[in-house]
Amino acid sequence: MEHTRWYKDMVFYQIWPRSFYDGDGDGMGDLWGVYEKLDYLKALGVDGIWFSPLYPSPGADCGYDISDYMDIAPEYGGMEAFQKVLRGAHDRGMKVIMDLVVNHTSDEHPWFQKSRRREEPYTDYYIWRPGKKNGKLPNNWDSCFEGKAWQYDEVRGEYYMHIFAVKQPDLNMDNPLVREEVKKILRFWLELGVDGFREDVITYISKKEGLPNDYLMPANKGILYYNHGPHIHEYLTEFYRDVLADFDCMTLAEAPLVSPKKALSYIAEPDGEMDMMIQFQSMCADCLFTDYIHMPFSLRKLKRAWSSWQKKLDGKAWNMLYLENHDHPRIISRYGSERFRVESGKMLAAAYLFQKGTPFVYQGQEIGMTNWRPQSPDMYEDVQTRWQYEHTALHLSEGKRLRRMWLASRDSARTPVQWTAGENAGFTTGKPWFYVNQNYREVNVEAEEKDPDSLLNFYKKAIALRKSLEVVRGGSYREYHALSSRRYTYSRTLGKEKLLVLCSFADEPIPLRIPGGFDLSKAELVLRNYSQLQEKTMRPYETRVYYWGSGV
């Protein structure tokens, strides 16, 4: 089938279902709730939804530990609710993509239960190894969530590999039967009518033969041997050729530690194995590789990442643009300012929404939700946060360790979406499964819908503007003031059409600087976050978008 690449004209919205909206009053977000909010998404200008996992799961990693790939969890409303949402989305012209999590399953998946008992054909579905004679683990690799990457299983009498939590055993993708299972899963959902997949840590699925010890990496040992492993392209090509090519679908690969050059080996047009990549470089402007190693925010680092992806993919592949997802703390609390919450939220929106690519908005980002800061470490739910708190920086006081988690924890962005100023932020009529951020009385959808100057209404305007301008889809990208640590300036150009985006990342006024060649007297100011403009100054976190052409 000819690849239509419809996703290039779209804006996607990520739903992390537990915390989106509760439709049946049991305290947990669900698909009945999503159904009620489809018109909200449509009004925002969203054309597609990415669902974080909806499948049955014991919940050790909030759904990324799957025990049945071909069903929808009862707490989310089961298949009936899913079909209703899918139809409802399609009726509104919205696409739906699912999360495909096949680097690992839950240890409660029947495949694992049979594999540990050596029941055929499941014996080699996972990566099993005997321990070493001296009582040592099969190799020295680390897991990303809980210590070493090996867990001894009494039933089988061997160790299994888990690159993530202990309850997330890695599948053995070198086994052709496992790849057949993946293809069955893909086909099942595509035949049901879904429009594609976000593929979870998909670059991890092929491990280096012999699983050698890693003597190079100081932490995250093993990543050099399982990220972009030896057969990765072969397997992804097989999934594409045998299933995906038969459908008009899109695929989005999650790829930690990927450079633009490496990305091209997966997503270069016209015949990449996948369509877009979730890169992490632009999420590391205030940390070192992972949110858990916090550093002061560096705008120059952020701009280098953004511009490098814009330039290196240009004309060759398509960017996926994002500021937030369920794995990172909230962006205003990181790259913006809670003191200038609305202003900086708007500026950040303009900073990424007019780049070339397909933007994704994570639930709550559009109303400017900020980090949640629990008073006690026991309040954290996330397996990674809990492990980090208990095992790292133990020389620091408890208070300091807790503050580190505030900056890094995935739970900072997993609190329920704040719909109203009422009880439980209007998320549920029951008892919420998780804590609600206490700023909900001020930060909520209902209040922002009424306020023409709200962040929510800014997102609506910015998304509508992006869609109305051909230059945003196709124009070339250029950055100015690259060395500045306070301003981000970029233009987009397509023939005579031009867009200039000015963003201040400073919390105090800075001089307005317009790059040479842009005559403001002929431009239209199509978007801004302050109603009163100063001639020579940009206010804290100010943004302005100027347009030359006839498109508005």
Contact positions vs ligand GLC (CB under 6 A): 61, 64, 101, 164, 200-201, 254, 326-327
Give yes or no: 200 in active site: yes
| Nearer Cβ to ligand GLC (63/138) | 63
Give yes or no: 71 in active site: no
65, 99, 200, 291: the catalytic one is 200
Q: SS3 string of 238-299?
A: HHHHHCHHHCCCEEEEECCCCCHHHHHHHHCCCCCCCCEEECCHHHCCCEECEEEEECCCCH
Provide, rounded to whole angstroms, the least separation between the CB of residue 258 and ligand GLC.
13
CA distance 284 to 347: 19
Provide, rounded to whole angstroms, the least separation between the CB of residue 512 and ligand GLC.
39
| Nearer Cβ to ligand GLC (168/370) | 168
For residues 462 and 455, the answer to whether their CB atoms sit within 8 Å is no
| Nearer Cβ to ligand GLC (47/61) | 61
Looking at the DSSP bridge assignments, the partners of residue 499 are 492, 547
| Nearer Cβ to ligand GLC (334/544) | 334
CA distance 552 to 549: 8
> What number of other Cβ atoms are within 10 A of residue 125's Cβ?
22
Provide, rounded to whole angstroms, the least separation between the CB of residue 277 and ligand GLC.
13
Q: What region, left, alpha or beta, does residue 157 occupy, with left being phi > 0 and alpha being psi -120 to 50 degrees?
A: left
CA distance 98 to 73: 14
Provide, rounded to whole angstroms, the least separation between the CB of residue 62 and ligand GLC.
7
**Percentage helix, strand, coil, to 5, in the chain?**
35, 15, 50
One-letter amino acid for residue 84 of the chain:
K
Provide, rounded to whole angstroms, the least separation between the CB of residue 306 and ligand GLC.
21
| Nearer Cβ to ligand GLC (64/360) | 64
| Nearer Cβ to ligand GLC (107/448) | 107
Provide, rounded to whole angstroms, the least separation between the CB of residue 529 and ligand GLC.
30
CA distance 488 to 482: 7
Nearest residue to ligand GLC on Cβ basis: 64
254, 343, 381, 448: the catalytic one is 254
For residues 364 and 414, the answer to whether their CB atoms sit within 8 Å is no
CA distance 54 to 62: 10
For residues 380 and 389, the answer to whether their CB atoms sit within 8 Å is yes
Active site positions, annotated: 200, 254
